[in-house]
Every structure is written in structure tokens, then in C-alpha cells.
Structure 1
Amino acid sequence: MRGDLEWGTVGRLVRDAAARYGEREAVVDGRTRLSYTALGDRVERSAAACMAAGVERGDRVAVWAPNTLDWIVSALGAVTAGAVLVPVNTRFKGAEAADVLRRARVRLLFVTGTFLGTSYAAALRRERPALPELEQVVVLADTAPKTCRAWPDFLADGDRITAAEVRARADSVEPGAPSDILYTSGTTGRPKGAVITHAQTLRCYDVWSELAGLREGDRCLIVNPFFHTFGYKAGIIAALTRGATVVPRPVFEAGPVLAHIAAERISVLPGPPALLQSLLDHPDRRRHDLSTLRLIVTGAAVVPLRLIERLRDELRVPTVLTAYGLSEASGIVTMCRRDDPPATVAATSGRAVPDTEIRVLAAPGEPGEVLVRGHQVMSGYFEDPGATEAAVDADGWLRTGDIGVLDPAGNLTVTDRIKDMYVVGGFNAYPAEIERLLGRHPDLADIAVIGVADARLGEVGKAYAVRRPGAALTADELIDWARREMANYKVPREVEFLAELPRNASGKILKTELRARRPS
């Protein structure tokens, strides 16, 4: 553990990393290779520009952009200047982004230029009248529309702020002050903003780095979006704590990612199971040297045992870990340990991280709602006391909304979201459990289960499945197979095959979209 930062601020972490790791490579983005010293200088200049723009401690500053070096510099600069970072989902449309910006009362927004054919500045233009507190929009590009500022011009304004002033501002920020507001993914409702402090961020991702075995010189390919905890904190913040190199990728494409792993000699790859499955199944995988991969951390969905075995056997990755977290708990609640057997890694999300308590509201070994208490639990939802009171009780227990089971060793298996559970003839059916069982079928690449209305039983399961390349599996064959593998009430009554399942940018299946589909 890093006692010399116990538990300071993100601004101090950036300064400490620059001093500690110096010329070691910090970020590789395309042809740009930045040392820790150079990253520290750029972040300081970004902080100076924020101060010149009138940003004060506690002001909200948002970043709406894909994974790039400019995201890192603009975000860390804002937080160093004492602002509270509001990462915005890159999948959002203009109205969705504006809703978050309005509720967070954001003063300054950094946006990308054109990304995947979309101009974020243009998408936001018609929403600006409804955002009276948004004073500036800075485009992370050399040019910008008339209503925005270009990144180089914004940075140039900071030249009148001295390094001593930036340091004084950074040192005036308290560890217990908010560092970011992480808006939930919104897969089950309107996103809410979880407020997390500097001290929580540093402590949690020092713990994460320790348990994962992240070390100086590691090279981390970050495909998980920076607007999500998995990308920002298990990526950027964790790397800063250990002197690892961040290699950001703005989009996931299996072929280019395989080439990137080989070219940059990537050693650490965090990612959801669907990403890892795509890499394993890519026809060109064996053409690339992936031998430098030594650590993979996954989660956010059902993890088939076969996936863990393939990562270890086919890619020779010595350490594959699963973990469980949520925005309201700084993204980290449980984590497997490096000496856990593959069955534990696949079937559970590991044990509580240090100084964390877990309760399951059910009899031992039975599924119930998971409650968490510890240093990582949010201070609350931003300016939403009602939602905060409903989520965190007077004793500090966070109601996660997840259903889980604790085994005798303390390993947690998250079986589902409360809102996803359905009842079949009086029996509680948990889609994640059923998906885990169905995922054993050798012809399936991906699977999702939802409850649908049934005249006799009330509800029954419907499976949306993705076949492996070349497989000819039929719905009847899968249902017959399922009857041999699980209790009858768990067996889906219907199967619909899709080319791919809808997912959000953090890899979670969008079951709201599946429920909205017309019957096949």
C-alpha cells in the first residue's frame, strides 16, 4: 500500500507520479508517447487553463469524449484545479448528455471533435438554451465552432497562471472533497450521480492495484471507456499509483486490438467477458504475439468457466481475475485473489476487499439483496437526498440492488439485479444464473435471458442467443439441452437468435432493449 499518499488527492497523485517515475512512459496514444514528467507538465497546464477560465474548487467540469490522451489531460487538469469531474457517456445523444450536464450544473465542458461520424458540439448546440450554467464548451481539437473554444486556445489562456498558483490550488483541495460524480449506467432507470471523494478514489485503486498485482512498467491497454469507473479508475488512476503505461483505445475492434497488444507489448488488459471472447474467437488471433499478456481483470457480466480456462490455456495468461463493484461503491466491492482456482474466478466475484463488509439479506447460501458498508461507499447522490436516503441507511449500509449469494469462504456470486428477477409459477428465476448455465453450451458465443408474460405460469424465461461462428444450433436443441442441465422452471420456453446482443459502452447487456423487442 502507498502510505505516502494516505489518502491525498488526485492532483497530488499526478505530481507524485511525475516525480517518482520521471521518464518512464506514462501514456501512448497513437504516435504520441508521453513520459510521466511530460504528463505532469501537461496536466499542470490544463489545470492552469481551468483556473484562467474561472473554475473554482467544487465547480463541476465535464468531459464528453472517447478514450484519448486529451481526455486524460483535460480530466486530470480539472480535478487538479479543484473541480469535480463529471465523465459523460459517449453513447449519449445530445438530449441525454444535456440532462446530466443540467442536473450536475456543469460550468465547463470538454468535448471531442467528430467521433464515429458524430459532432458532439453540434449535437449539444440545440440543448444549450436549457443549460444556463454551462459557461464554456472546449473542443479537444485544433479548431472549434464559433460557439465553442478550441483546445489550444483554451490552454494558451492558462499561460498567465503560474506553476506556483496551480500547486497552491491543488494543495488547497482536501482529501475528503468530491473528486468526481459518476453517473450510473441507466440500464434500469434514469442515471443518478454518485459522489466520490479524492481519498476514496486513491484508497480504492491502491487496493485494486495491490490485489491485481499491478506493477511499475506494466503496459495497460484501456478499451473500457474512461467515462466508466473501470476505464478511468482501474485504468488511469491505478496506473498512476504504480507507474504503469496507459495505452488508450477509443473503440473496440477485435482485429486492431490484437495487433495493438502485440505492437505495444501489452501486459494488462481489463475488459468485460464479451470483449475477451471476441479476441479469443478472432480468426487472426494466432497471427499475433500475445505472450506479454500476464494479467486480465474482468467482470460486469456472467463469466463462463470455459472463458477463464481458454484465457489461461490458449493465451497462457497467468493471472485472470474477476471483480464486482458499482458506481455507488467507487467501482470496487469484491475481488478474486491471484491464487484462486479457475472455478472460483469463474463462479464468483471473489471476496470483500480490505475494510469492507458485505451482507446478503437471506439465509446462508440463499440469494438475497447484497448490502455493502465500507470506505468506498459514496457520500450520496448529487443533490438528491431522497434517492440517497433510499440507497444508504443510517448505519452506512448501501443497498446495491443486486441479488447475490455468499459461499462459506465469503466469495460473492452476483446472481442478478432485483429488477431483472422474474417468478415462474412461484419460483424465483435469476437470469444471470440461467445465463451462466446456458453459457456452458459449446455452440453459444453470448446469451441473455429475460422474463416474459405467460398465461399459465405468470412469467417464463426467454433467451436471446448468439451462436459461435459456424454453429447451426437450433432453438429446440438448446431448450432440450437446457432441460438436462437445470431445473425445469429455469429452462427458457423460447429462444431467439441474434447476430449480437445490445450492450452499453461498459459491456453490460441492455435488457431494456431486449424487452422492447417485438415477439419473434
Structure 2
Amino acid sequence: MIDQTTGLTLVPHAVEAVKTADQILLKSKTPLDPIVEKTGVWLHKWAVETPDQIFLAERQGDGWRELSYAQVLQAVRAIASNLVARGMGKDTPIVIMSGNSVDHALLSFGAQYAGVPTSPLAEQYSLITEAHGRLIYVLEKIKPTMAFVDDAARYADAISLDNLAKMEVIASKTEGAPRDVTAFADLLTPNDSVDIDAVYAEVGADTLAKILFTSGSSSDPKGVLTTQRMMCANQSQMASVLPFLKERPPVINDWLPWNHVFGGSHNVNMMLAHGGTLYIDDGKPTKRGFARTVENIISRPGTLAFNVPVGFAMLASEMKDNAELRKAYMGNLDMLFYAGASLPQDVWSMLEDVAMAERGRLPLMISSWGMTETAPSAVMLHEPIGRSGVIGVPLPGTELKLLPDDEMRCELRVKGHNVMTAYYGDPAKTKEAFDEDGFLITGDAVKFVDPNDFDRGLVFDGRVSEDFKLLTGTWVQAGKLRLDALDALQGLVQDVVICGHDRDQIGLCIFPRPDQITDENTSNGAVIDAKLQAQIEERLRALASTTSGSAKRISRALILAEPPSLKDHEVTDKGSLNVRKIITRRADMIERLFDNEDPALIRV
């Protein structure tokens, strides 16, 4: 159907539910599109049907390096032949240590074409000395045969590690390398000794494509075995409910990192599946990188926009006064998709206002729920809803098991074509991950938008695993309370941590925005700026006035001067807080939070 709000062909929500006394089974009524066997099917299709269409592009000097589908297929087959000639296969992973680039994509697709798994890692594992421990952990875990970096000089410290001494290192730029490396360009000449068609024919739906590591927020990172079936099924699932993707080739200008399943599998494969174009944004939603993002969007605007909430907030603010960006960003935009934490409603409204002012109608504004283990989307919003925070309904080909508590808050479990079967080399963790019915235990909680109308969809309601008890024995839904606090304190804080395990009250440790911290307004590890404290106290009091009961009321807060530490693993490679590590490392701050005599304490 053509949606009147967006002008796009959409499929409205329609679910079927089976309710028992202790669970709800939920699945989509929408038929699932056919699933291709492997990513190479898409590549061959578009190299034949639209050979000159740009697939991959990145900044090169003042312009762009652009490769068509025909050029990408040629490069991918050459790379695959050289990997096979080296004796590589399903048991010889490639570790990719640098960020997004055309060469990174070509190597990844070449490996998939040959049945060789890749493991893309967060670039900070290699670039930050204090994070080398995570890099070494992965190297020892999967024992790769080959490593890739885009610049041997920039990654000199990492590729000099003893763990890589016997490994072939491939580099796009070899100048300044601290050891012998192979030029990536050498892989682009086909190895005629290999029957690459025969090799490709052996790759199937169950062939391992990637080993994607989780963020490791509660333990060592786990390697998710991501098969061709998982990635291909997920694109069919989304195309089933977003049919406009099949009506014209989509275009994105995207920075989201490929070591994450959202950027590297969801976004990259969405372009490949639909003959689209991916412009690699070498900027980021940071103080240093945002100007580059703006420049890139103006140069190569997209039809789809993916981002995290902070990225959308920066863009919405910039577009109010930047007409050129506003026109480029909104002019041809079909869909705006946010991931991660819920998009603040004020940012949602700003984006709506900009879209209406620029083009007189809204793009489809949606979100979804997923994780590395689900490749990633399992629940998706696919109809206009006019508000933030709703994650939607199960995608075709997935089934949800919802375990409700007394407040109709439900623990979320999932099974489907896109769900992993195992963690790499960890049978114990794999066994723990599934229940007796084969559903993946996600640890997340959801609520229905309307308990009387399941078609309205689900709202994310925090992490069950983050919940804790007060001294009274009352459970605190910490994940949900954190989202409430972030919403109340938007514009004032970077992030918050809910505290109170085995205490009689709930406390809040606050990380302020970096621009709010100076040497003059900090003392003994806590911010004491009177104006900031007053603003936070006022908003927390307003939040407290809407709640009742000790399990929902934040009664005290402390503003921390030291930002979350990457080297001490207080921040995961996905940018989320490692709550357990923060509470452990900052035990003295937690004690101050519950010290009624501390002068920096905010009492609510």
C-alpha cells in the first residue's frame, strides 16, 4: 500500500499471538520474501543488471574513489582466488583491524566469496595501546591466518605485536611499515591456478561469513558465528515489510563502524541486496569529525539515513541554520532510521520540522531492535507512528517469546532464520544463550504500546540483567529507569548510571557533557558547578514527582568529573557504558553517592 504520510510503499503491522498463562508467542502475518543463498548472488545479479551503478565509494583527496558493481565483482573474484591460493578456507579467519574503507569491503566480500570468515574489530583495539589487551584476546581466541590494516604506519604498534609475528599482514598503504607486509593491490591480480567458480559453488547458506565480537560489557567479548544464511535472511525479512527498498536503488552516506553488526551487516548488505550505493563517511558525530560528515552529506546525499541518537541530534541542530545541508539531507530522503538508545522526542520533533519545512512531507522515521546474535534486526517498526521509542513488531521469519511479569513488562526471547546457532569456541556460553524451546535469551525487556492491540508494537524497556534489589527486597528496573533519567536530563548529560544494589534508595551517577567540565569546577572527582547542579536537581525533582515507590524514585545524584574511560573498559567498543566496570572501578564514588554529608551530593 502507498502510505499517504510518506508517499512510500509500506506494509502495515500485522501480528498473530498465542497467549498462555506464562508467555506470549508473537510473529508477523506478513509473508517472507525469498532468501538468497549467499551474498555473492546479489553481487552477480547487479554486476549483470546494472554493471555501471556505483556500489562502493570513499573520499580520495578532493573527490571520491568510486567502484561500480562490475568493478567490485572483478576485484572480489581476484581477492578470493588469492586467498584460496594461500590455502585459506573456513578454518583460517582474517582479522580486520582498521575501520571502514573500500579495501576493507572488498576484502570482506572476497573472503565471503571464497568461504573464508573475517573478523572486523574496533579500530581502537589496535590504535590505543591500553586497548591492546582486547586485540590480543581476539587473536588468541580465533587464531587468524591473515590481518588487514588500511595504513601500516598508522597501525605500526599493533602489527608489531608478537601475536602477529607469524601472520601475513595486508595493508592498503605499506609506507612506513615496521615489518614486512603485503600490499593490498597484490590481491587484485587474479590467481589463474585457482578455479574460482568451483570455489564459489561450494559456498552455501551455512558457510561462516563473519565472527563478530560482542561489546563485552559484562564479560570477555563473545564471538558470534555469523553465517551467510543469517545475513541474507535478515535482508529478506526487512525487504518484506519495507517494499519501497525494491523500487529504486537506495543510497547511503554512512559512518557507522563495520565491526558492529548494524553498520557492517545491516547497512552494507542492504545496499548490496538492492543494488544500492554506499558512500563511506569518514566523519563522525563528534566535535572533531562532525564538520567532515556535513561536507560528505552535501557532496553525496543519500535516500536513507542511519545514525545513533547523538548523531541525529547534531544534524538536526545544524540543519536549522545550514540550508545547504538541509536541502541535501532531506531533499530525497525516504527513510530515517535510528539505532541504539531511544531517540529523544525533542530531536524527533526537530527532524520532523526540518523535513516539513524543506519538502512538505515526512520521511519514514523508524527504529528496530536487534543484537549481534540476530544479524541484527528481529523486531522492526515499519509504519509511521509519529513518536520516538517504539521498536515495532517481529519481522517475518522471526518468532518472539515474551515472558511477562506482574506489570506486563516482558522478557524478550527470539528465534528465526537470522539468529545465530553458536558462539565461537564456547559451548558453555552457547548452551546458556538458549532456552529449552530453542529461543535466544536476549536479557532485554519490552512492553506493548497497547496491551489490547499487539499490532501497535513494542517499546524497549531496558535490560533485565541490569535490574537489582534494594535492601527492602524491592526490584529496581535499572534499564528502564536509566532511559527515564536520560529523557529528563536531555541536553545536560552525556550518560548516567543507576546505582542502589543493597541500598535503601536509588542513586544516579552522572557523566556531564565534556564541555561542561573544567578544572575550575571540579573537586575530588565530582563536579561542583552550582548552576549545573541546580538544573539537574530541578529536573530530577520533576521526574520524581511523577513516580511513586522506592523502586522508581531517584533520590540522590552525583556529577562525576572523570569521563568514562576506554582504557579501563568503562566504555565498550560500541560506545555504551560498561555499568559493572564503572561501579566496580569507582567504588569510592558510589560510597560518596550514598554519603548524606558529602557537599557535592544532589538530594532530590
TM-score by length of 1: 0.88
In the other structure, the counterpart of 1:201 is 231
Counterparts in 2 of 1:176 and 1:386: CA distance versus 1, 3 Å: same
Higher Cα radius of gyration: 2
User: Any unmatched runs of 5+ in structure 2?
Assistant: 1-29, 126-130, 357-361, 517-530, 566-570, 590-599
Which of the numbers 547, 551, 555 marks the counterpart of 1:486?
547
Moved more, 268-277 or 357-366: 357-366
Which of the numbers 385, 399, 406 marks the counterpart of 2:427?
385
CA distance in 1: counterparts of 2:386 and 2:563, whole angstroms: 27
Corresponding letter in the other structure for 1:256: R
CA distance in 2: counterparts of 1:432 and 1:454, whole angstroms: 14
Counterparts in 2 of 1:495 and 1:266: CA distance versus 1, 3 Å: farther
In the other structure, the counterpart of 1:147 is 179
Counterparts in 2 of 1:152 and 1:327: CA distance versus 1, 3 Å: closer
After TM superposition, give the deviation of residue 242 of structure 1 in Å.
0.5
Helix, strand or coil: the match of 2:48?
helix
1:56-455 matched pairs, under 5 angstroms: 56-92=89-125, 93-113=131-151, 119-128=154-163, 135-143=167-175, 145=177, 147-152=179-184, 154-155=186-187, 158-161=189-192, 165-212=195-242, 213-215=244-246, 216-252=248-284, 253-282=289-318, 285-288=322-325, 289=327, 290-292=329-331, 293-316=333-356, 317-337=362-382, 339-343=383-387, 346-363=388-405, 366-407=408-449, 408=451, 409=454, 411-424=457-470, 425-441=472-488, 444=491, 446=493, 448-453=495-500
Aligned identity (percent) is: 18
Whether contact under 8 Å (2:252, 2:301) holds in the other structure is no
Helix, strand or coil: the match of 1:349?
strand
CA distance in 1: counterparts of 2:280 and 2:292, whole angstroms: 13
After TM superposition, give the deviation of residue 203 of structure 1 in Å.
1.2
CA distance in 2: counterparts of 1:510 and 1:77, whole angstroms: 35
Counterparts in 2 of 1:467 and 1:312: CA distance versus 1, 3 Å: farther
1:51 aligns with 2:84: yes
Corresponding letter in the other structure for 1:189: S
CA distance in 1: counterparts of 2:47 and 2:239, whole angstroms: 18
Whether contact under 8 Å (1:25, 1:34) holds in the other structure is yes
Whether contact under 8 Å (1:464, 1:496) holds in the other structure is yes
After TM superposition, give the deviation of residue 204 of structure 1 in Å.
0.5
Whether contact under 8 Å (1:422, 1:459) holds in the other structure is no
CA distance in 2: counterparts of 1:49 and 1:100, whole angstroms: 25
Corresponding letter in the other structure for 2:138: V
Whether contact under 8 Å (1:466, 1:501) holds in the other structure is no
Whether contact under 8 Å (2:174, 2:181) holds in the other structure is no
Does 1 or 2 have the higher relative contact order (CA < 8 Å, sep 6+)? 2
Whether contact under 8 Å (1:296, 1:320) holds in the other structure is yes
CA distance in 1: counterparts of 2:74 and 2:105, whole angstroms: 13
User: Any unmatched runs of 5+ in structure 1?
Assistant: none
Q: Deviations over 1:452-487 (max 9, x none)?
A: 347850653434444999x95633222222222333
Corresponding letter in the other structure for 1:271: N
After TM superposition, give the deviation of residue 227 of structure 1 in Å.
1.0
Moved more, 222-231 or 243-252: 243-252
Corresponding letter in the other structure for 2:56: V
Which of the numbers 482, 499, 506 marks the counterpart of 2:574?
506
Helix, strand or coil: the match of 1:266?
coil
After TM superposition, give the deviation of residue 83 of structure 1 in Å.
0.5
CA distance in 2: counterparts of 1:393 and 1:443, whole angstroms: 38
1:19 aligns with 2:61: no
Counterparts in 2 of 1:273 and 1:445: CA distance versus 1, 3 Å: farther
Corresponding letter in the other structure for 1:390: E
Helix, strand or coil: the match of 1:361?
strand
Moved more, 92-101 or 143-152: 143-152
CA distance in 1: counterparts of 2:33 and 2:201, whole angstroms: 15
Whether contact under 8 Å (2:237, 2:397) holds in the other structure is no
Whether contact under 8 Å (1:431, 1:449) holds in the other structure is no
After TM superposition, give the deviation of residue 445 of structure 1 in Å.
5.3
